[in-house]
Structure formats: C-alpha cells, structure tokens
Structure 1
Amino acid sequence: MVRSLRARRRRRRLRSVALIGIDGSGKTTQAHQLADALVAAGRPATYHRNAGGRRWLGRIAQRLGRPDAQRLVGRDGLLAVESVLRWLAIALALISCLVTGRTAVMDRYSACQYASIRAHGGHRWERLARAGYRVFPQPQVTFLLSLDPAEAYRRIERRGTDHETLGWLTAADTAYRALPEYPTFILVDAGRPADEVSKQIRHHLADWFGADEAAAGLPLTTGERENQPESLKSA
C-alpha cells in the first residue's frame, strides 16, 4: 500500500518548488543546484529568479549619491516597485513552465514579498500585495532556508556584491516566521555546508527523485520532521 502510494506520487508531475529565506541564506545556490539535480534525474526543470529589484535599485541609488533604494524612492515607493517586479517575474516563470511542462524551481516567491513588506514596517501594503499575488498557485513544496541573521550578515559581507544591515536581516527573519503560511514551510538548516543543505532538500523531494536520491539524503532532525506537510511525513 505504501509503495503504491509512493509510486503514484512519483508519477505525479512536480510543477513548482520555491526556496525562500533571508538574504545570505543560500537560496540562489540551492535553487540552481535543485534545478540541475531534477534535470539529471530525468525531470526537466528550469531555475527562475523572482527578484524584486531591490538590489538593482540600490545600485542606482548609490550612483545617484543615495545610500540605498529606500532613500531614493521612499519606503512606499520601494515596496510598490518591488511588489510589481516580483509579480511580473513570478507570472512569467509560471507561464513559461505551463507552456514547456518543466518544473519551476523558484528562487523566491510571494512569501518573500509579504516578509519584505513586514520587515519594512509597511503592513498596510500587505493586504494589497496578497490581493495581487492571490492569482498564483502555491508551490507544491516551499523550503524556508533557516539561517541565523548574524551568519547571513557575515556571508553577505564576504561576497562583497551588496550590503544588508544586521537589523534588516533580523527583521526579515522574524517576518518570515510570523507569516500565516509559516506552518506549511519545510524548514531547512541553511547553516550546514552547501552540499549537506542540498541533500536535505533532495531528501524532502524523495518521492520525485526516486530511491537512489532518497538514500543519498540526510536523516531529518526532529524539528524538520515536525515542520513537514502531512503529505510528505509518510514518505
């Protein structure tokens, strides 16, 4: 009975997976690796970076002599631009995968926008954002890459391509954990080495990867198991 249930899950198409979390948690690296692993396992997939343009606006702000994007367009302006650009990116990603039949591996999704709005203190914008993003289906699996904000700050400083304050990272981490969707997220310990994080993610997707990949996954911790959706706990 259990085997037949797993077989049915493996036959079901994995339409979309989202990786979310604070800056520096490794979303982009893990999303790229997951897309590559799915392709290698015979399940065509495409990586999609659903950015909100905050880094891009920040670079423009610095060129114009402003310290960051918020100082350039204001908090409300930043949240409006970010919400629209991320909405467009997600829409294009979903349309692309609907047409091609490939799995959409989402580097950021709607929850990232809700968390950004909360971290910026623009709570009145969240209702508008949710109304606009409601047209998008929820990913079959959403991974929240959990990382201590202080470590995320150190990683960002080491890569040297952008800058975030520790205060912002802490606020964003708190915002993710306060979202009503939080109980549906699968928590992944992003503080481990990148290859171990990848194994954690593949373990949770074992029904789509098959027995060999499942065996390669790391054992789940008690906390990770408690945060699994019911559909995956029996796997």
Structure 2
Amino acid sequence: MIIVLTGIDGSGKSTAARALVQAVRSRGGKAMLLSNHAGRRTMSILAASLGVQLPPRAADAAETLLRVTNVLVSHLRACCFDGVVIMDRHLHCQLALRTTRGLPRGRFLPWLLSALPRPAAVVHLDLDPAEAHRRITVRGTDSETLADLVAFRDAYAGLPEFGSFVQADASLPAAELAQRLLQAVDALPGGPGDSGKGAAVTN
C-alpha cells in the first residue's frame, strides 16, 4: 500500500511521514518511508551563495530530473516491500511548482503519473500559508516568501488530480495528525482496518 503526502513548504510533510511510519510500526505493522525530493532547497542555497538565479525553465529541468529519478527508485523499492509505503512528495509537487513559475504542465509528468502504480491515497496536508511561513522562518533552514506559499497552495488546488486527494488538517500536532492519517489508512479499501468506507481526515 502506497500513501503519498503532498503540501506546501512548511506544512510538515516530512514530520507527518515519519510520525505515520512510527505509528504503523508501533502496532506491529510494516512501514517504510521514501522521500521524493527535487533538491530545490539545495539548489536555492547554492544559487544564492554564488549570487546567481536559475531561469525558471532551467530550475524546473534540474528539479524534474532529480524528482523523476527519486520517484522511479521509490516505486521500484515499494514493489519489493510488503507493508505500508509512505512517500514524502511525488510528481504532483513538481506539477504544482511549474504552475507557480508560469510554466506549462507538459505531457511527460502527467503521463508518468498515469503509468506508475496508483497510490492507495494521496494525502494533502492543508495549512494556512501564513502559518507555513512562520514555521519556515522558525526552522531557519530555508526561506520562502508568503506570496510564494500562497501561489503554491493555489497551484496545488488547481491540479486536475486535486479533487481526488484526501485533505488533512496540517495545523494539528504531529502526533494527533499521525493518528488521523493512520485512521485514514485503516479505512482505505484493502487497508488493515477496511470497513468498506472511504478515507477522510477532517478537523
């Protein structure tokens, strides 16, 4: 079973992914965390240190190459694992980033999404951009403007796939959010707690 987590920067994707894996393991289940990063933070820091700024298309090309590589490796690893696979980010993230940069959606990433095994659920961590900006400022490892986070949130909402995403309240404490996500996993068709009802993570 593959669960994908998406969300704007600062929404707590990595924290929620780790907490969900721990929650599954704590009750005797098998879980594995796989990250599908695109190296955006590293490239931004490097570009800033060199005093240069990559054109949007160049930045997207570099990120897409790394993201696609990570996604393909993650799916290969998932095929060999008997348990719950939590993927931190996926191709949806790159598609949303393209929108924020004013770039076209393209054909390759949507095609690859349709060709890869379909996740049991894509969970979108919904968080107010102002709170996400506050979190990013506190951790101090990267920087994002509030305007960029608002644009990123809107880009996600505009994805054709967004209507099928499971919405999760990312303002909840990590432990509580993990339990909500675990309940959603249980309720998925074929999940350990399948009761024939759909999954939802609400307030």
TM-score (norm 2): 0.89
Q: In structure 2, which of residues 168, 185, 201 is the aligned counterpart of residue 205 of structure 1?
A: 185
The yes-or-no answer on 1:101 pairing with 2:82 is: yes
Q: In structure 2, which of residues 49, 53, 76 is the aligned counterpart of residue 63 of structure 1?
A: 49
Aligned to 2:39: 53
Structure 1 residues 32 and 196, CA, compared in 2 at 3 Å: closer, same or farther? Answer: same
Q: Secondary structure at the match of 1:134?
A: helix
Pairwise mapping of residues 6-155 of structure 1 onto structure 2 (< 5 A)? 15-66=1-52, 71=53, 73-123=54-104, 125-155=105-135
Deviation at 1:64?
Answer: 1.1
What 5-or-longer segments of structure 2 have no aligned partner?
Answer: none
Q: Secondary structure at the match of 1:143?
A: strand
Structure 1 stretches of 4+ moved >4 Å: none
> CA RMSD for the aligned pairs?
2.0
The yes-or-no answer on 1:179 pairing with 2:159 is: yes
- The one-letter code of the counterpart of 1:182 is F
What 5-or-longer segments of structure 1 have no aligned partner?
Answer: 1-14, 215-229
Identity %: 34
Structure 1 residues 151 and 167, CA, compared in 2 at 3 Å: closer, same or farther? Answer: same
> For each residue in 1:38-81, what CA deviation from the matched residue of structure 2 results, as whole angstroms up to 9, or x when unmatched?
22233211111110111111121122123xxxx1x310011111
Which structure has more RCO (C-alpha within 8 Å, separation ≥ 6)? Answer: 2
| Distance in structure 1 (CA, Å) of the matches to 2:35 and 2:129 | 22
> For each residue in 1:196-218, what CA deviation from the matched residue of structure 2 results, as whole angstroms up to 9, or x when unmatched?
2222212212244549xx9xxxx
Equivalent pairs, count: 196
| Distance in structure 1 (CA, Å) of the matches to 2:193 and 2:165 | 22
Aligned to 1:7: none
| Distance in structure 1 (CA, Å) of the matches to 2:160 and 2:37 | 22
Q: Secondary structure at the match of 1:137?
A: coil
More helix per residue = 1
| Rg comparison, structure with higher value | 1
- The one-letter code of the counterpart of 1:122 is L
